[in-house]
A and B are shown apart, each in its own frame.
Chain A
Amino acid sequence: MKTIIEPFRIKVVEPIRMTSREEREVVLRSADFNLFRLHADDVLIDLLTDSGTGAMSSLQWAGVMRGDESYAGARSWFVLEESVRALTGFEHILPTHQGRASERILFELVGGPGKVVPNNSHFDTTRANIEHSGARAVDLLVAEGRDPRSRAPFKGNMDVAALEGLIAEVGAGSIPLVMLTVTNNSGGGQPVSMENIRAVRAVCDRHDLPLFLDACRFAENAWFIKKREPGYGERPVAEIVREMFGLCDGATISAKKDGLVNIGGLLLVRNPELMRRADELLILTEGYLTYGGLAGRDLEAMAQGFREVVDEDYLHYRIRSTEYLGERLLRAGIQIVEPPGGHAVYIDAAAFAPHIAPAQFPGQALAVAMYREAGIRACEIGSVMFGKGGKPPMELVRLAIPRRVYTQSHIDYVIEALEMVFARRDRLRGMEIVEEPPSLRHFTARFREV
């Protein structure tokens, strides 16, 4: 069969609201052209992020009802612990309210002035947490990862030679750990190969450095390994996931992605001393060890989500539907980061609107136009998100696909809207920032059109 169907049917629906063009014009102005400032109510199709926006299954909702809200030793905690142990092979698991709390705890413990943390590419909150601790965040992506036209299978890989170079330059002593983000979110949702994880592991071993995964989209990455890496075609995804985690000393996970939940995160650590210190910080800032700042019901939903996400019918549907959107945009002449990523399609905004200079945020201009035209909300990943104090590798607009939420006809509507914007692309206007906070400016900055 060529047609890929969803391996589920719909059990509960949530109405969405059509708005008029006039309404959207008013709303855009009152949000100062920052789509993070829109009321979700005024958005028709929300592709801002795939984080926490997925639809849970009936089994997860049953878990929500089963949630044991005991403060200490809740049954729901032991259910989650067992699920994550089976998934990752890690013994010691800390629950957190979401991924950035795991990052904060980790970098409060190992970061600090003078420290350097390499990654294939740091995502926004990871970078913010590292820099907040006083450390330096360094991206060491392979060259093809920065070329939107390259069709290489593993564009999320780390440049291993560059890692060796960095270690030689700053010394292993100032690198508390090496990180790999799977899949690579800021670089187009591109996967990291098992071979690359092993190569980075070998460098880490030579210099006695711990390797951590930013494992938000571990299942999507494992699916790409199965499909693209020699020797993995017949291996079950669950086994590939175990192998990925088996190569690491720890991981931060936002369960709002591949955990298929609306809230929740994890920190996995092998080192007993680091683990003990993480426990103390967890209690102080998140919550007790057996709930970590989550309701018992959220622990249950997460446990079930981690079981569902390695289902291969699900992953097949998930990756194929993202690919569908990407292929249709390419066919319409719209350049995207190729090949399409796992959780999102990234439009090359610099190619879309070459008449807008990076300093006038072509990505932001495109995202605003998509909302204005069709009520679609997307996310700029370019000079607004990463441009402060440096030039980002690419000017992108991310169309992130929430898991199990939108149907093919929603996606067809998005394609049609983008075709319309593309036909009139020379009318797109650059933007400028009127007001911005000291860090993570993309969330709250105010813009105007130039």
Chain B
Amino acid sequence: MLQKRSWAEPWKVKMVEHLRMTTREERERAIAEAGFNTFLLPSQYVYIDLLTDSGTSAMSDTQWAGLLKGDEAYAGSMNFYHLEAAVRKFYGYKHLIPTHQGRGAEHILSHLCIKPGQVVPGNMYFTTTKAHQELAGGTFADVIVDEAHDPDVMHPFKGNVDIDKLKALIARVGEKNIAYLSLETNVNMAGGQPCSMANIKETCALCHRHGIRVFLDATRAVENAYFIKMREAGCADRSLAEILREICDQTDGCTMSAKKDALVNIGGFLAVNDDELAEQARNMVVIYEGLHTYGGLAGRDMEAMAIGIEESVQLDHMHSRVGQVEYLGEKLINAGIPIMRPIGGHGIFLNAARMLSHIPREEFPSQALAAALYVDSGVRAMERGAVSAGRDHDTGENLYPSLELVRLTIPRRVYTQAHMDVTAESVIALYENREKVVGLRFTYEPKHLRFFQARFEPVRGKQVFTG
């Protein structure tokens, strides 16, 4: 299959879920009621849901069979041992601490490994990760390569750590004041851009020379491994499983949201090599999440995760996964739509600042674009620009990140090629009528993680898209 350009799926459909078509009038009413925030739309009004690839994937029949094999014993569930074996085999860490999802693992890691006042460098921020670091008294420092902030520059590994920036940071604040390096694979906020194996090795070696630990955000590490195989010299003949292990072997542990790569609807884990840290984490997981052999998950969910991990490293699966994302991306590029390049692993990031250049940044072009796309076709996307970035802690002013994007995130194994075609047609139609899209202003702005619940209104008229 791999030799061909086609990305035909290595599975057939076994169970379907009905979708409801809506009229434009219904959608106009729904988005207004949702305060022009796609997060606030009830899913029954959504036709194609590209809000996130997190927990929205279709499980395989083997995973569903695993659900029925759930051992719901409170302590020592058989499924825990299956999951532990899968994590040891494919990620290679010694200790597994399951959590109900990724942010449960981030909560524990931040709590245990950050002392107030310490700096946590990372290759670009992620919303919940940064919030946990700040909650623990840390400050995030961005050490990603400059190319990551430029949506047009072609670079095979835009997720890389800028070694000079990292060295400068260590020299400036001192290694003792660095809690750990948070290394994200297939950097989400940069558009799903990978790190190279060479960069991961160099970064980890540098940190370890200074006695700084490296914790991987392994959420999309398998998608990253796929890009390494495709793009990095000397890696073409290696299996995804081998590359994944090599990535993990460089680091001291990981947090994982299994709702992405591992093809489940719920679940996550913290995995570490250090015995003492593992013991501390187990003592904490029992307070926050659940006993250390279930971590707040049903037994069946651990079984589905163990099976999902094994499925995620299959080359045919990943080829079709990334192939589908590339298919949508290339359609848009061919139509002249400005998107983040190269195409990332889990979604297409529309360059909203460029697409809607008539809307000033203060009127949130990404938020307006996501709302307009929904009105046009019922496709739900996610704002990833100034609304997500929030306000400056000290000045209280809006932050305007260099990337003003709308993310079309593709759930795994859920939508067909025809669904991708509809999405592309809608984005193209919207682009052709872009001057009809109106900017937005806040009517309600939450203090933390405002993008989830904020409400807006159009700066003129009643609708965001007057086409």
Q: Identify the A interface with B (CB < 8 A).
A: 12, 14, 35-43, 46, 48-49, 51-54, 64-65, 67-75, 78, 97-98, 100-101, 104, 125, 128-129, 132, 262-263, 279-280, 283-289, 291, 293-298, 437-440, 443-444
Contacts and interface: CB of A to CB of B under 8 A. Distances in A.
Interface string B99-120: 0110110010000000000000
B319 interface: no
Nearest to B296: A97
Given A37-B75, A263-B296, A280-B446, A286 B103 contact: yes
Given A40-B77, A53-B72, A295-B55, A101 B296 contact: yes
Given A40-B76, A437-B283, A440-B286, A293 B291 contact: no
Interface string B45-76: 01001011011110000000001101111111
Contact of B42 (A35, A37, A73, A438): A73
Interface residues of B, number: 63
B297 interface: yes
A52 B51 contact: no
A347 to B, nearest CB: 19
B172 interface: no
A67 B55 CA distance: 12
A40 B283 contact: no
B76 A39 contact: yes
B453 interface: yes
Interface stretch (B128-136, B231-239, B346-354, B455-463): B128-136
Contact of A40 (B46, B56, B71, B300): B71
Contacts of A67: 265
Contacts of A51: 74
Given A39-B76, A49-B74, A263-B297, A287 B288 contact: no
Contacts of A444: 282-283, 286, 292
Contact of A262 (B52, B54, B298): B298
Contact of B289 (A69, A72, A97): A97
B86 interface: no
Contacts of B4: none
Contacts of A132: 287
B367 to A, nearest CB: 15
A48 B74 contact: yes
A132 B297 CA distance: 22
Interface string B23-57: 00000000000000011111110100101101111
A115 to B, nearest CB: 18
B266 A294 contact: yes
Nearest to B69: A14
Contact of B287 (A38, A74, A100): A100
A284 B266 contact: no
A296 B54 CA distance: 12
Query: Which residue of A12, A54, A67, A73 has the most chain B CB atoms within 10 A of its CB atom?
Result: A73
25 contacts: A36-B74, A43-B76, A53-B73, A53-B74, A69-B57, A73-B46, A75-B44, A97-B100, A98-B100, A98-B290, A100-B287, A262-B70, A262-B298, A262-B299, A263-B297, A280-B447, A283-B452, A284-B103, A284-B132, A293-B266, A294-B100, A296-B265, A298-B298, A438-B283, A444-B283
B81 interface: yes
Contact of A71 (B55, B70, B107, B131): B55
Contacts of A285: 103-104, 107, 288
For the residues of A in contact with B, the DSSP-based class is loop
A41 B78 contact: yes
A389 B10 CA distance: 59
Contacts of A298: 266, 298
A288 B452 CA distance: 8
Interface of B: 15, 17, 38-44, 46, 49, 51-52, 54-57, 67-68, 70-78, 81, 100-101, 103-104, 107, 128, 131-132, 135, 265-266, 279, 282-283, 286-292, 294, 296-301, 446-449, 452-453
Contacts of B449: 280, 283-284
B153 to A, nearest CB: 31
Contacts of A78: 42
B43 A440 contact: no
Nearest to B55: A69
Query: Which residue of B75, B107, B132 has the most chain A CB atoms within 10 A of its CB atom?
Result: B75
Contact of B51 (A43, A70, A100, A438): A70
A98 B296 contact: yes
B414 to A, nearest CB: 9
A70 B75 contact: no
Contacts of A288: 39, 452
A296 B259 CA distance: 13
Contacts of A286: 100, 103-104
Contacts of A439: 283, 287
Given A72-B51, A293-B266, A39 B283 contact: no
Contacts of A129: 287
A36 B298 contact: no
A443 B313 CA distance: 34
A43 B315 CA distance: 39
Nearest to A51: B74
B56 A70 contact: yes
A49 B17 CA distance: 36
Contact of B73 (A43, A64, A125, A128): A43
B273 to A, nearest CB: 20
Nearest to B135: A284
A293 B107 CA distance: 13
Query: Which residue of B51, B72, B283, B287 has the most chain A CB atoms within 10 A of its CB atom?
Result: B72
A100 B100 CA distance: 12
B114 to A, nearest CB: 15
A46 B71 CA distance: 11
Nearest to B54: A71
Given A284-B132, A293-B296, A295-B301, A71 B289 contact: no
Kindly list the 3 A-B residue pairs having the minimum CB-CB distance in the complex, ordered from nearest: A40-B73, A70-B43, A97-B100
Nearest to A293: B100
B75 A35 contact: yes
A298 B301 CA distance: 11
Query: Which residue of A12, A35, A100, A438 has the most chain B CB atoms within 10 A of its CB atom?
Result: A100
Contacts of B131: 284
Given A36-B74, A73-B40, A438-B283, 8 more contacts: A67-B265, A69-B56, A72-B40, A72-B41, A75-B42, A98-B100, A100-B288, A101-B288
